[in-house]
Amino acid sequence: MTFTASQIALLIHGKVEGDSSVSVGSFGKIEEAQPGQLAFLANPKYEEHLYSTNASVIIINDNLELKQSIGATLIRVPDAYTAFAALLTKYQEIVTQQLSGIQQPVYISKTASYGQNVFIGAFAYLGEHVKVGDHSKIFPGVYLGDHVIIGNNSIIHPGVKIYHDCVIGNNVTIHAGTVIGSDGFGFAPQADGSFKKVPQIGNVVIEDHVEIGANASIDRATIGSTIIRSGAKLDNLIQIAHNVEVGNSTVIAAQAGVSGSTKIGKNVMIGGQVGIVGHLQIGDGAKINAQSGVSKSLDPGKVVTGSPAHDYTAALRSQAIGRNLPELEKRVKELEALVMQLMKEKIS
């Protein structure tokens, strides 16, 4: 599958500089790309490779001023990174659209239903009253429990397990090995020191345009729903506990964990390995630095770091002071010596 520079420019609303008829059939990093490949330049530190790359077509920013001539065809756009991402999305759509039909063997309950142009891979399991929307792709080895609903244009990658009653929206992508709707961690302490399991009878609701990475775990609610709002993006190996709500367009990096009933606002950014205790409110637009431990609710727009998490700006000031401690110690010793000398002179 090949595309000309002019066709690519049309897709990403770019302007061609050079041979618009040159064609490419694959992608490559700008420092490694070969003839017939397309690359992009968004980070200035890679600009040196622009003049030595073998790529046939390169997407660059409108405002980039060339320091020397380039043999490749250029496509100028306002934001090269965003344009390249859009192009990759189009390419992926073309590839996945080629998948359709039902492979064998599969198990599809007589009460299950699916829409037009779906793909259901081998060894998939669709339980009672499952519904799969138009153009969705269910890859091999996926388990969909009873009454699960999958919206339109969603992609459920191999080995995903979605327990009963969970609802997945439109244009959702869930990567391999993720578990949706397993029991929340609810156990009531007993007088004899044992723990009695609290039944988890809620579900998980994942709204539209959400992407969830590989081997993540999102627990069903005790009562009601654990909710991932529209546009949220979750990385690999994330734990979302029962009755948590993740707001619109919030992003959470790998290995983070959110304890039960915490409510996370919209446009929140959570770094890798962050831990958030239960029953907190994380305000809209808050930012939590990697490996932070959050034990208190955060106001909207708050930026925190550390464990326990505290104000990010104050933490930077503390780090600066810490780096100066050896010099401060030296100055204190010098002052002590000066004071001792002055005292001796006064006594004498």
Q: Domains of the chain (ranges plus CATH)?
A: 3-97 (3.40.1390.10), 101-310 (2.160.10.10)
**With 0-12 CB in 10 A as exposed, 13-18 as middle and 19+ as buried, what is 300?**
middle
Give the residue numbers annotated as catalytic, written as ranges. Answer: 242
Residue 190 amino acid letter: Q
| Backbone phi, psi, residue 17, to 5° | -120, 115
| b/e map 79-90, b = 16+ CB within 10 Å | ebeebbeebeee
Q: Which residues, other chains included, contact 194 with Cβ-Cβ below 8 Å and sequence gap of 6+?
A: none
pLDDT the model gives residue 78:
97
Distance CA 203, CA 243 (A): 9
Q: What is the pLDDT of residue 188?
A: 95
The pLDDT of residue 99 is 83
Residues 6+ apart with CB under 8 A from 244: 219, 226, 227, 258, 259, 260, 261, 262, 263, 264
| Contact between 36 and 53 (Cβ < 8 Å) | no
Cα–Cα distance, 307 to 292 (Å, whole number):
5
- pLDDT for 344 equals 81
* Mean pLDDT, each 10-residue run in order, the chain (348 residues): 92 95 95 96 94 96 93 96 92 78 97 97 98 97 98 98 98 98 96 96 98 98 98 98 98 98 98 97 98 97 90 80 85 89 80
**276 φ, ψ (degrees, to nearest 5):** -125, 125
pTM: 0.81
